[in-house]
Homo-oligomer: A and B are copies of this chain.
């Protein structure tokens, strides 16, 4: 079929998928082709704009290296990453929903958010109550809470894989030659309880010296993320959860550059004077405490 106009062109491209063997690939590419064509038609994209788009995408690809992923940053700042996170959790909830109903579920699973570019596999496992940010710049914070499932059952031996930037907004990975800092893995006790010390994270900008920074600039957008600490929470026979806790009162909570904020993840950090801490230790400086209970969805399988 030789297309004679724009609508026929879209059909001609779709028709060219009839030889594909993977039905899911056909489904994804068909939808992509239709939306891509509809976009170009809708805005009546000019050859100059098309060439600028080609150059932009090329620059995004060429900004990527083993430390930086500018296409993930593009996906993050256009809300696509967060969309994938929301869809994934909705699917998991539907899958686990049948089982949850059988166990008289009465709680919703903790909401997920984006993983971001700073996860570093293999953080050290610490004893319950340890300080995972020894020597890191920032105000000491005592984190504690419980991990249960949607049926309210405490999850003993559940794993919290934790990471954050320091009190100035920098991750260890962003500092040349740095080793792991403000990262650690903690397991819950037999009642599903966890506790550890780290610092209180602050807001920071996503990298703006590449093409995505220029895009944000053109959009009139700031590049900042509100203060947050990352957690990957997992337990046997439960859907793993990747999420953050956000610091209540942090700037940019209502305009996170990557759209990761969910109101249910905003935590009040309580200020404390120097002295006795909730775990019985003595702290020489003022410190904070943050309390949060995580809820995991039982897995469908």
Taking beta carbons and an 8 Å cutoff, which residues of A are in contact with B?
A: 1-6, 9-10, 12-13, 16-22, 25, 27-29, 31-33, 35-47, 49-50, 54, 57-62, 64, 69, 71-72, 75, 78-88, 90-91, 218-221, 253-255, 259, 261-263
How long is the Cα–Cα vector from A43 to B16 in the complex, in angstroms? 19
Nearest Cβ on chain B to A95's Cβ, whole angstroms: 13
Q: A25-B218, A69-B58, A79-B12 are in contact. Are A86 and B50 (CB under 8 A)?
A: no
State the copy count for this chain.
2
Residues of B contacting A50 in the complex (Cβ-Cβ under 8 angstroms): 75, 80-81, 84
How long is the Cα–Cα vector from A60 to B61 in the complex, in angstroms? 7
Whether the Cβ atoms of B16 and A255 lie closer than 8 Å is: yes
Nearest Cβ on chain B to A218's Cβ, whole angstroms: 6
Q: Offer 14 A-B interface pairs, CB within 8 angstroms, sorted by A.
A: A1-B254, A4-B262, A6-B90, A9-B259, A16-B255, A17-B220, A18-B220, A20-B220, A32-B43, A35-B35, A35-B42, A40-B80, A50-B75, A58-B69
Whether the Cβ atoms of A41 and B254 lie closer than 8 Å is: no
Residues of B contacting A82 in the complex (Cβ-Cβ under 8 angstroms): 9
Whether the Cβ atoms of A44 and B218 lie closer than 8 Å is: no
Nearest Cβ on chain B to A266's Cβ, whole angstroms: 9
Nearest Cβ on chain B to A115's Cβ, whole angstroms: 9
Residues of B contacting A21 in the complex (Cβ-Cβ under 8 angstroms): 220
Q: A5-B86, A86-B5 are in contact. Are A54 and B69 (CB under 8 A)?
A: yes
How long is the Cα–Cα vector from A3 to B262 in the complex, in angstroms? 7
Q: A69-B54, A86-B9 are in contact. Are A39 and B32 (CB under 8 A)?
A: yes
Q: Which one of B3, B5, B18, B79 lies within 8 Å of A9 (CB-CB)?
A: B79
Q: Which one of B22, B38, B69 lies within 8 Å of A218 (CB-CB)?
A: B22
Residues of B contacting A25 in the complex (Cβ-Cβ under 8 angstroms): 218-219
Q: A2-B254, A25-B218 are in contact. Are A40 and B84 (CB under 8 A)?
A: yes
How long is the Cα–Cα vector from A16 to B222 in the complex, in angstroms? 9
Whether the Cβ atoms of B16 and A46 lie closer than 8 Å is: no
How long is the Cα–Cα vector from A192 to B21 in the complex, in angstroms? 52
